[in-house]
Amino acid sequence: MKPFIYITRKLPQDAVEPLKQEYQVEMWEREDVPVPRDILLQKSQKASALLTMLSDKVNEELLEHADALRVVANLAVGYDNVDLEAAKQKGVVICNTPDVLTDTTADLTFALLMTAARRIVEADRYIKEGQWKSWSPLLLAGADVHHKTIGIVGMGNIGEAVARRAKGFDMEVLYHNRSRKPHAEEVLGAEYASLDELLGKSDFVVVLAPLTPETHGLFQKEQFQAMKKSAFFINAARGPIVDEEALTEALKTGEIAGAGLDVFVTEPIDPDHPLLSLDNVVTLPHIASSSTETRHAMMNLCVENIQAVLKGDKPKTRVE
């Protein structure tokens, strides 16, 4: 019997063809709906490899009955959906897709910042709803981006890529991270700051930190109160880093000027969520790495990692 591989979302056939040539491959046939939990648990019991999405919980419940499982390739740079300790105890290799999505995610993050600042979505809707009757001096006037201060919370590879884009707009770059980044300071002129200092000085606060016990709920009412009233909050990391009730209140009361959000505590977000009713919020459906080129590169990397582990070789991007 060939090893069995289960893929938890429908992917293009050309992406999975290399696996089909060597292994028994089955794939959930929906692009827009996650695989039901009971089906994932059932398939995992006989799988040698799983190719998973962020919406799939690879936890102790799944791992305890997955006796044949050797590798989980997560189609994301993050892996907060995976219980690393439980996987380690079971001897299951966990892989992710870093690096290949860095620039694409940074592009989207900076686009989100600019869209929120310059009121792009409002302006598009203004025309399409037939409201544009004449030109006026302050029609949909937004905030400048150039020569402002950006504060990056989480200075990993994506944070550094965003900082490079910010320098192209002559922005001053502050950053807060678990550890100092001498390379970013030397090459990009980024300046390390405490979180409180960053919040107080930044015109744009951009969250790119991983979701960890330390960052979970990092942004509460106090953090938004510490920001400038003219500042914008951008989150392209993970939703649970932010108290959404506190963010909603800050946006409603003018505690901050606006927000750009690619991630939410619960995804998909409820269409009736209060954040979605605010004109000073730009929202995206967790698409930071979603370019055709990058998503295919991520799929290919997952396939290569699975092939490597099943053949007894070292995977390219193992989560240690």
| Cross-strand pairs, 49 | 5, 71
HSE, side-chain direction, 13 A CA sphere, residue 266: 7
Q: Are strands 258-261 and 24-27 parallel, antiparallel or unpaired?
A: unpaired
The pair of three-digit structure tokens given for residue 305, joined into one six-digit string: 């990692």
Residue tagged active-site, from 119, 176, 286, 295: 286
The HSE-up count of residue 243 (CA atoms within 13 Å, CB side) is: 12
Structure tokens at 256: 């901050």
164 is catalytic: no
- Of 160, 238, 244, 295, which is the active-site residue? 238
Active site includes 176? no
218/17 Cα distance (integer angstroms): 42
Give how far Cα 183 sits from Cα of 106, 157, 166, 206, Å: 18, 11, 16, 20
Nearest CA among 282, 289, 301, 298 for reference residue 114: 282
- Residue 238 catalytic? yes
Report the candidate in 21, 26, 22 with the shortest Cα–Cα distance to residue 5.
26
Residue 162, SS3?
helix
* Inter-residue long-range contacts of 70-73, CB under 8 Å, 24+ positions, other chains counted: 70/309, 70/310, 71/95, 71/305, 71/306, 71/309, 71/310, 71/315, 73/49, 73/301, 73/302, 73/303, 73/305, 73/306
Q: The tokens of 50 are what?
A: 């799983």
E strand residue ranges, 178-228: 191-192, 204-207
Residues belonging to the active site = 238, 267, 286
